[in-house]
Amino acid sequence: MGYWPKYKEQLISKYPPTEVLRRLEITVKPVKKQSFHNQKLDGEEQELFLFNGLISEKGFSISKVVDKPDNFLPLINGKVLPFEQGSRVLVQYSLFKSVNWFFGFWFFLLLALTLIAYIEKQAIYWLVVPVIVQVCSYILVVARFKKGIVDSRKELIKLIC
């Protein structure tokens, strides 16, 4: 996986590329048609979309539909390629750019606090606390991202394999 949460894999499907894309189109809610129908309001039935995103002939960019906000939900980018008696789906899971930007901002803020404490010759407590907070934040991001991958991957495999 490397230092920053990102995961790549290759899935082999028994379906041809056109069928894989058709199956995705059926279960992916286009980004331009977002609504509150996925939430149960006033006893309305829930729509049956598994993912939100975009599907094209070149590939797809989707994320799992969730009931509650989840900042660590993976963005799934993929390409569908022809393969012997089926198709090969190249999939990459990554965090949304907004999460990356926020975590980068948080990292540099805590780094600045550590440097200020070091320059001002503060107690060791003020040097260590920001580092501990940053390490805990990183562990939380990686753990939640891995859980998001497991959940999204399970639905994607059921759909295309």
- Which tokens is 25 given? 């189109």
Helix, strand, or coil (residue 130): helix
All structural domains of the chain with their residue ranges: 6-160
Q: Report pTM.
A: 0.81
R_g of the chain, CA atoms, integer Å: 20
* Predicted confidence (pLDDT) per residue in 10-55, tens digit: 999 999 999 999 999 988 888 765 555 544 544 444 567 889 899 9
Q: Are 74 and 80 in contact (CB under 8 A)?
A: no
Sign of the alpha-carbon torsion through 21, 19, 13, 148: positive
At residue 130 the predicted structure's pLDDT band, cuts being 50, 70 and 90, is confident
Question: What's the confidence (pLDDT) of residue 1?
Answer: 56
